[in-house]
């Protein structure tokens, strides 16, 4: 497989006070316009690929390898290591795929960090949107899944239709506050004689319930244990 190589990186303009940058990233003779705001960036080809003529259709594994290299090079252009890892692949328009990336710490996903690449059948990146978490995260020590489930269940104000249908630990960066590891539980409940998804968010280290709400209305019972912090 032919490796993707950065040919040039030309900084067009930078506003240091707000950390806004407009760059040109050249990858395998393709110019990408890169717009970055703090720890987020968007990349699009300077010239639409439709005007570039046909090319060979690549197998899936080579398209994914090129996507991974593209992400690593884009992060490197901003001075960051390859902190985003491929999470899943989804079908996109016609012969395109959407490659979704995530950032993890201790194996836990970081909320708000990750990205998406739109890749055509020839392995060409038609769009890339990436966000990475820059906070140096500490080591988290969560309670056991069973203990967290015991804390979450009483926070559901309606009859639960069985155990949680989803349970995942993720890191919430919380803006300027120190990041927290939280457990996200989704239950199916009976509310007004109808099934309804309900989410409970628990601090994974202390067991404190942070929020409890309906996923249908995005409102419901007032947050249990106070607002999210």
Encode the chain (229 residues) as per-residue pLDDT tens digits. 444 433 333 433 444 445 677 889 988 789 999 999 999 999 999 988 875 556 788 999 999 999 999 999 999 999 999 999 999 999 988 789 999 999 999 999 999 999 999 999 999 999 999 999 999 999 999 999 999 999 999 999 999 999 999 999 999 999 889 999 999 999 999 998 899 999 999 999 999 999 999 999 654 444 444 434 3
116 and 41 both lie in a single domain: yes
Q: What is the CATH number of the domain that holds 170?
A: 3.10.450
Secondary structure of residue 98 in the 3-state scheme: strand
The answer to the question of residue 75 being in a domain is yes
The answer to the question of residue 51 being in a domain is yes
Residue 194: how many other CB atoms lie within 10 Å: 8
Query: What pLDDT does 52 receive?
Result: 55
150 and 208 both lie in a single domain: yes
Query: What pLDDT does 218 receive?
Result: 54
Number of domains, the chain: 2
Q: The domain containing residue 73 runs over which residues?
A: 6-131
Query: What pLDDT does 114 receive?
Result: 97
14 and 65 both lie in a single domain: yes
Query: What pLDDT does 53 receive?
Result: 59
44 and 126 both lie in a single domain: yes
85 and 155 both lie in a single domain: no
């Amino acid at each position: 497989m032919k490796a993707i190589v950065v040919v040039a990186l030309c900084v067009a303009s930078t506003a240091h006070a707000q950390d806004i940058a407009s760059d040109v990233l050249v990858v395998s003779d393709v110019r990408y316009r890169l717009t970055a705001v703090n720890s987020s960036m968007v990349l699009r080809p300077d010239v639409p690929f439709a005007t570039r003529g046909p090319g060979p259709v690549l197998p899936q594994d080579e398209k994914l390898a090129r996507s991974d290299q593209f992400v690593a090079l884009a992060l490197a252009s901003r001075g960051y290591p390859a902190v985003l890892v491929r999470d899943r692949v989804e079908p996109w328009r016609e012969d395109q795929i959407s490659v979704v990336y995530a950032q993890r710490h201790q194996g836990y996903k970081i909320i708000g960090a990750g990205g998406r690449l739109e890749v055509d059948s020839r392995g060409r990146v038609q769009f890339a949107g990436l966000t990475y978490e820059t906070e140096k995260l500490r080591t988290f020590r969560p309670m056991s899944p069973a203990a967290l489930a015991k804390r979450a269940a009483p926070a559901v104000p309606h009859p639960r239709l069985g155990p949680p249908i989803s349970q995942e630990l993720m890191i919430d960066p919380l803006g300027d506050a120190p990041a927290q590891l939280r457990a996200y539980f989704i239950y199916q409940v009976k509310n007004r004689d109808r099934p309804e998804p309900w989410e409970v968010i628990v601090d994974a280290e202390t067991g404190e319930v942070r929020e409890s709400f309906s996923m249908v209305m995005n409102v419901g019972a007032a947050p249990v244990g106070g607002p999210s912090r």
